[in-house]
Homo-oligomer: A and B are copies of this chain.
Amino acid sequence: MTRTEQPVRAAGRPRSERAERAIVEATLDLLAAESGVAGVSIEAVAARAGVGKTTIYRRWPNKEALIVHALGEAKAPMVEPSGGSVRGDLLELARTIGAERQRKYARCFWNVVGGAEKHPELYARYRQDVIEPRREVIRGVLRRGVERGELRADLDLEIGVMMFVGTLANRTPQEPFPEGHAEAVVDTLLRGIGAPGA
């Protein structure tokens, strides 16, 4: 047994970090399966991660808290864009969202949103802890655009966020964006589909 494989209860951190990583990955693997939220239980996560149930309960009071934590880990942080122009910022955000679509765990999010009716509290926590901070980054870009006169003064920020996120999401799951897609979406969003002066 090498040094790193020894139980190191006192030093603790590396081992507990490995356990946490295994628990989060087991949760996401189970959540990505076809049974979705219904297939995740503390028992199943413990078995898959190779840890005892107590190790999980020490950190997360219940399955819902564990799932919301794991979903937060699976999303790339929505990095504040550079702030040069609204168009440039939206393109940066669109490319981040595009890259995420190809990640292994995209199906987890789908299952949680699809399970909203059956697991409303889990869905509400997911919205609040994982989705809302990301939407706030997008909202901030639009808000600054309105303030600087780049966007319409009467823009409804929520409609703007839905239009940006919803358009990018309206594709076959996990299919990568085609070349030029982010630009086409952002430019159509900015100019609108109506003829000028029509």
Contacts and interface: CB of A to CB of B under 8 A. Distances in A.
Given A34-B38, A111-B114, A114-B110, A159 B173 contact: no
A114 B107 contact: yes
Interface in A139-189: 142, 145, 149-153, 155-156, 159-160, 162-163, 165-174, 184-185, 188-189
Contacts of A172: 116, 123, 127
Contact of A166 (B113, B149, B170, B190): B170
A54 interface: no
A28 B183 CA distance: 39
Contacts of A198: 149-151
B163 A163 contact: yes
A120 to B, nearest CB: 9
B34 A113 contact: no
Contacts of A117: 107, 173-174
